[in-house]
Amino acid sequence: MTGTTETPSQARRVIVALIPLVLFLGLAVIFLMQLTSGRDNSIIPSALIGKPAPTLKLAPLEGAMTAGKPVPPLTTEAIRGKLTLVNVWASWCVPCRQEHPIILGLSRDDRLNVVGINYKDRNDAALAFLGELGNPFTAIGVDPKGTAAIDWGVYGIPESFLVGADGTILYKHVGPFSEDSLKNGLLPAIEKALAGTKG
């Protein structure tokens, strides 16, 4: 009885067949490590934190009103010298609608200036959104092509940035704010900024 030996071509076929399995197992291990790391995956590090905020020179959202006056355009002057939350939003963004009551609540905090970048939106739709849900913004800039969002390193909306009175980006939040992310993320960052501490 003679033993069977694999030819080089058979061994090659076995190796080629095993490659997808090895790749799948490798990806599964990485995915499992991410799930069990305990890290908050909504926190995406930003290269801009600790750096000056990008220049703002956006056109106004025509027709937006607050207290009977037109809402001014979003420019660097609109945030200079004030602790500011820059919120990137759009009327078509379902999570933006979800977080809007929180943004409205933040706009009532006298310590904070809340401004908005209206991202790739239609003017009439943005106005209808604010008309229905309320306008929390002291200034709004329209970003029809997403150029400003690229400058700010936006991954997807909503996103919010806390900018210090000196123009430095102090904090970034990706996705809609929740009561938990407010309590454990933004509010401590605001308190730290107001206390004049860094880090």
Q: What is the pLDDT of residue 36?
A: 60
What pTM did the predictor assign? 0.77
Per-residue pLDDT, 16: 78
Q: Which residue, among 80, 41, 58, has the nearest Cα to 152 in the 3D structure?
A: 58
Q: What are phi and psi for residue 142, nearest 5 degrees?
A: -95, 140
What's the first-to-final CA gap in the chain, in angstroms? 76
Instruction: For residue 182, give the DSSP letter.
Output: I
Residues 97/66, Cβ–Cβ less than 8 Å:
no
User: What confidence tens digit (pLDDT) does each residue in 110-156 have?
Assistant: 999 999 999 999 999 999 999 999 999 999 999 999 999 999 999 89
Q: Which residue, among 73, 71, 41, 76, has the nearest Cα to 151 in the 3D structure? A: 76
pLDDT score for 39: 45
Angle at 112 (CA atoms; ends 102, 165), nearest 5 degrees: 140
Residue stretches of the chain with pLDDT short of 50: 1, 37-44, 198-199
How is residue 84 written in tokens? 């500011």
Give pLDDT, residue 54: 96
